[in-house]
A and B are shown apart, each in its own frame.
Chain A
C-alpha cells in the first residue's frame, strides 16, 4: 500500500520533465533501478557459481583428456578404488567428530563467559576468538611445528611427565586425531560467539522463574537455555557441518592426506587428483560427493530460517 502511494508522488514531478530525459525516468522506475542494482550480483552468481557448478557435472562425465564422454565411468572407477572409501570414511569421521566437539566446547565456553560479570567478558571473548581470526593456513603451520616429529614441543612437555613421544602426524590414528584437534581449535570460537549471542538473548525472567521454582543448574540448562537456543544451535551446527566437510587448508597443510591417504577428505583428495594429478574430470567427480551433504544441510537451514522468520 505505502509503496503505491510513493510511486505516485515520486512519479508526478517527472511527468512534466519526461521529454527532457526518458532515460532518467526509466532509472527512477523502481523495477529498473532494482534490476540495475542487483545486476552485478546476478552476473557474478550465475557466471562464477551456478555455471561452474553445472560445468563440474559435465566435467565429471569426461575422460582424463576431456575429449571423450564416459558417462558414469569416473564414478564406477572411484567406487572400485580403496582410497575412495578411505576418503568417504575419513570425511565422515572428520566432519562429525569435529562438529560435535566444536559445538560442545563452544556451548561450555559460552556458558562460562556468560557466567562471569559483564565487565570482564570483553577481554575473555577477545582472547578466545583469536584462533578464528588468524588465517587457518598460518595457524596450521604453527600446529605443524608443534607436532614436528623430532622437535615436537608437545612431546617435550609429555616427556616432562614421563609419557613416550607421540608420532602426531606420522601414524594413522594420531594423524586423524591431529587434524580433528586443529579443526576444533579453529572452529570452536565460532560456536562460542554464536552461542554467547543467543545466551544473551534469553530473557532473565525465565531464569528467575526457574530459580524460584527451585530448578538446579542442570534443569535450568535443559529446560530453559537449550529450548531457547535450539534454532541457533541447529543453524550453527549445520553451517559448520558444511564447512568442516568441505575443509581444505588444515588437512592439506598438516598431513596433505598422509599417512598413506588415511587423512584425505573430499576436498584435499580432489585437489590431489584434479590439480596435482591433472585429471580434472576425476577430481570433479570426487568433489561432487560433497554436494548431497550440502543439499541436505541447506534444506534444513532454509527450513529453520523460515521458521525463525515466522516466529519473529
Chain B
C-alpha cells in the first residue's frame, strides 16, 4: 500500500523514470550474465577437471606442475580402459541392467498409469497416493531388509540372487516404477476425455485405447519417463554396492571405485577416464533430449 502512494507522488517525473528503467534493465542483464557465468563455471569445473585429468599420464599427474593444464595430452588412459576386459564387463553390465530396467519399468508403469488416470475403480485414489508415497521412500531405508530377504530367499529356494547382476533388475524398478507411473498419470490425465470416449464408442477395447490413442498422444511424456528410468538405473550406486561383489557382476560406478582404487593407491588418470566414460551415456542422451528431460523433471516432482 505504502509503495503505491509514494509512486503516485513521483508520477510527474515519468520520462526520467522510463529512462532509468531501461538503464536498470541493461544493468540487470549484465549482472545476470556475470553471475550466470560464475555459476556455470562452478557447475562445469568437476566435469572439465575429469577431462583434463583423463588426458594426462600418471607421471604428469604426480608432477608438481599446474594441475589445471595438460602439457602432454595422451589418450593412453582411454585406450587402456577400453581394451581392459574388466571395464568392458562393467559397461556391458550397466548397459544390460539399464535397458532391461527401462523395459520392465515401462511395461509395468504405462498400463498402471493408464488405469489409474482413466478407469476409476475401487481403491484407485488410494493406490495413486500409494504410488506417490512409495516414490518418497529412499533406497537407503530398504537396502538392509531387501538384502536379508534375498539371503533368506536363496536359503529357502536355492536360487541365489545376491551377487548376480540380474538381482538389480528386481530392485531398480522399486525406484523407477513409482516415479514413471506418477508422471505418466499426469500426462495421461491431460489428454482430453473426448478422445478415448470416442474410441470406446467406436468399439475399441481398453487395451486398444491405450496403445492406439494414449501412447501416441502422450509420447513426449513416455520419452521423459524412459530417460528418467535410464538415468536412475545408470546412476544407482547403493544397490549394486550392496548386492554385487564379484568383479564380473559389477556395474560401472561400483566397478570403477572397487577396481581402480587399490588400498591407498588411486590411479587418478584411469579413475577420471572411467568416471567420464560412465557419465557419458546420460550426458549424451541429455544433450539430444534436454527438453524431454526437463519436461519430465518438472512434470512430476522429482527427487533432488
Q: Which residues of A contact B (CB under 8 A)?
A: 2-3, 6, 9-10, 13, 27-28, 30-31, 33-35, 37-38, 40-42, 44-45, 48-53, 55-56, 59, 66, 102, 105, 108-109, 112-113, 115-116, 122, 124-139, 141-143, 145-146, 148, 151, 153, 156-157, 185, 187, 189-191, 193-194, 197, 211, 213-215, 217, 219, 235-236, 239-240, 242-243, 246-249, 252-253, 266-267, 270-271, 274-275, 280, 283-284, 287-288, 290-291, 294, 297-298, 301-302, 305
12 contacts between A and B (CB under 8 A): A30-B119, A33-B205, A48-B171, A55-B149, A66-B148, A151-B268, A185-B42, A194-B304, A197-B294, A239-B301, A291-B141, A294-B138
Contact B301 A275 (CB under 8 A): no
The digit string for B29-57, where 1 denotes a CB below 8 A from any CB of A, is 10111011001101111110110010000
The 7 closest A-B pairs by CB, nearest first: A214-B7, A190-B304, A135-B235, A246-B138, A267-B140, A137-B253, A52-B145
Residue of A nearest to B297 (CB): A193
Residue of A nearest to B62 (CB): A151
Known: A6-B197, A214-B10. A156 touches B145 (CB 8 A): no
CA of A274 to CA of B290, assembled, Å: 39
Residue of A nearest to B34 (CB): A112
**Chain B 228-244 interface residues, beta-carbon cutoff 8 Å to A:** 231, 234-235, 237-238, 241-242
Contact A146 B49 (CB under 8 A): yes
Contact A135 B282 (CB under 8 A): yes
CA of A35 to CA of B123, assembled, Å: 10
B177: interface (CB < 8 Å): yes
Known: A116-B29, A275-B242. A56 touches B36 (CB 8 A): no
Q: Which residue of A59, A66, A130, A145 contacts B44 across the interface (Cβ within 8 Å)?
A: A130
Known: A10-B200, A42-B127. A135 touches B237 (CB 8 A): yes
Contact A134 B29 (CB under 8 A): no
Known: A116-B32, A142-B275. A187 touches B171 (CB 8 A): no
B286: interface (CB < 8 Å): yes
Contact A31 B122 (CB under 8 A): yes
**Chain B 192-213 interface residues, beta-carbon cutoff 8 Å to A:** 193, 197, 200-201, 203, 205-207
Residue of A nearest to B4 (CB): A213
Contact A130 B283 (CB under 8 A): yes
Residue of B21, B138, B205, B241 ringed by the most chain A CB atoms within 10 A? B138
Residue of A nearest to B240 (CB): A137
Known: A48-B171, A109-B39, A298-B136. A187 touches B304 (CB 8 A): yes
Known: A3-B120, A33-B119, A141-B256. A134 touches B279 (CB 8 A): yes
Residues on B with C-beta less than 8 A from A35 are: 121
Known: A127-B40, A146-B45, A185-B43. A53 touches B304 (CB 8 A): no
Q: Is the interface of A mostly helix, strand, loop or mixed?
A: helix
Residue of A nearest to B298 (CB): A197
Given A214-B3, A290-B141, A302-B132, 9 more pairs with CB closer than 8 A:
A37-B112, A44-B174, A45-B134, A127-B40, A135-B234, A138-B278, A139-B279, A211-B21, A215-B3
Residue of B nearest to A27 (CB): B205
The digit string for B160-199, where 1 denotes a CB below 8 A from any CB of A, is 0000000000110110011001000000000001000100
Residues on B with C-beta less than 8 A from A112 are: 31-32, 35-36, 39
CA of A102 to CA of B42, assembled, Å: 13
CA of A194 to CA of B147, assembled, Å: 35
B103: interface (CB < 8 Å): no
Residues on B with C-beta less than 8 A from A10 are: 200-201, 203
Contact B174 A139 (CB under 8 A): no
Known: A38-B111, A136-B235, A270-B140. A156 touches B66 (CB 8 A): yes
Known: A2-B193, A128-B43, A249-B238. A52 touches B146 (CB 8 A): yes
Tell me the smallest distance from the CB of A154 to a CB of chain B, in Å: 9
Contact B298 A53 (CB under 8 A): no
Contact B29 A253 (CB under 8 A): no
Contact B28 A284 (CB under 8 A): no
Residues on B with C-beta less than 8 A from A129 are: 286, 290, 293-294
Known: A44-B174, A55-B148, A302-B129. A128 touches B275 (CB 8 A): no
Residues on A with C-beta less than 8 A from B121 are: 30-31, 34-35
Known: A133-B283, A138-B275. A41 touches B108 (CB 8 A): yes
